[in-house]
Amino acid sequence: MVFFFTHGPRPYFYPCKRTPPQTFWNFYTAVIMEENQEVISSTTSARMNICEVESVAKAWMIDFSFLSLCRYYREQNVEKFSKTLKVFEAIIDDEYQLQDNQQTKRTICCLLSRIMDGKNLDVHYDLNNIVTPLMSALSVWDCLKDTVNDEALYDSIKNLLLIQCVGVCLEKGNSQLAAHTLQWLEKESDLPQKLQRKLSTVVSKKDVYNQLLTRCSFNHLQKSVNSFLDAFIEKHPSDFLFKAASKVVQVHQERPEQADVDQNNEKPEPDSPVKPEINAVSSELNLRPKKKLFSNKTVHPWKPESTKKPQCLPHRTDKLKVSRRSCKVPPPSQKNTISKYRSKKMWISDEDQYLKAGVKKYGEGKWSKILEEFDFGDRTSVMLKDRWRTLKKQMKV
């Protein structure tokens, strides 16, 4: 089963004075030699296969992104987690043949993303819009059963997911969705009968502060997943690139101290001679320096054309979009062609579905947000408004 996820400055590498002068590559090799001496020293071979090098580099980046996602999950940093998840998805989905541990890490990240969005009932990971993120996380957790060595921990997290699937709906005040979720759990998952009776009582009474929901809270679920991550990372360490970067940063922090010493030992430039006697006398008498009557700068003669302002042609900077649905590149024949009038284009069913989903999410009138969220090609917000008016007249919405 396959699950889907919905530059700063370049590091400056340098040799410090404690290290003998070397080239960049030799210096970087010396920094990370302790971790993988044989592999890095063999990269100077002329017979090296570039595909294998790229595979190793991508494996390091996958491990580093996975480690960062686990850290942001523990910190509950939603913004950094979502940004890193996009990077992780772009790297790992580009690989045609994933190793077993990489596929497991991908599945774990699918689980973490669904739990991070667990309380956001407007987010959907499945084609069925009624399936909440936690309901989708149940099937992901079942795929990780062989990965968890502690069977008690596996059962505990599964029970917490089952309870919170209903508990989150009640917490958000949607008792109807909670009842539907309970019916879905009875059909699609192995819901124990004892737990089913307790959840039925909670849903019928709409008791948000029930002892079952309080004892098996959402925070308890997050902490249990943290215990699973700690055990997995201890068994499958993914910190090679992190350790190498830490060593480079450690060496980089030693540079400012040396730079301060070098600045103090700098000699004055020959173009600016220093006259200690004049400076001493003027400082004692508090004399102001003499003003120059004429400037030493060369003055160009005035020309009538110099008063004309340079003519600037207006230019348009296009905003690049990185979403998969909007990364289509126009064909070369249409790229540099600007038409005066737009030709009418028929609306397809996919665009109508996007428009309905956008109005459901943002509401009527938010046409610019809907236009950025979904792929409507070269249509404008005015076109979206007109189309929505047409659909309302046709009684299709």
Instruction: Say if residue 123 is exposed, middle or buried (CB neighbours under 10 Å; 0-12, 13-18, 19+).
Output: middle
DSSP code of residue 67: H
Instruction: Say if residue 15 is exposed, middle or buried (CB neighbours under 10 Å; 0-12, 13-18, 19+).
Output: middle
Give residue 324's pLDDT: 34
Q: What CATH homologous superfamily does 51-235 map to?
A: Telomere repeat-binding factor, dimerisation domain (1.25.40.210)
Q: How many angstroms separate the CA atoms of 333 and 339, rounded?
A: 12
**Residue 302 has which token pair?**
């005035």
**Residues near 22 by Cβ (< 8 Å), separated by ≥ 6?**
15, 30
Give residue 265's pLDDT: 59
Model pTM?
Answer: 0.56
Give residue 18's pLDDT: 41
Give residue 132's pLDDT: 92
State the SS3 of 264-282. HCCCCCCCCCCCHHHHHHH
Instruction: Say if residue 171 is exposed, middle or buried (CB neighbours under 10 Å; 0-12, 13-18, 19+).
Output: middle
**Residue 359 has which token pair?**
């109005």
Query: Tokens 């009624």 map to which residue?
Result: 130
**Residues near 306 by Cβ (< 8 Å), separated by ≥ 6?**
none
Residues 206/173, Cβ–Cβ less than 8 Å: no
Read off the pLDDT of residues 200-233 as tens digits, 9 standing for 90 and up.
Answer: 999 998 888 888 988 999 999 999 999 999 999 9
**Residues near 165 by Cβ (< 8 Å), separated by ≥ 6?**
132, 134, 135, 138, 181, 185
Could you state, in order of their start, the residue ranges of all structural domains in the chain? 51-235, 349-395
Give residue 160's pLDDT: 94
Residues 349-395, CATH architecture: Orthogonal Bundle (1.10)
Give residue 327's pLDDT: 35
Q: How many angstroms separate the CA atoms of 362 and 301, rounded?
A: 62
Which segments in the chain show pLDDT lower than 70?
A: 1-48, 95-96, 256-343
**Residues near 238 by Cβ (< 8 Å), separated by ≥ 6?**
63, 64, 66, 67, 105
Q: What one-letter code names the amino acid at 262?
A: D
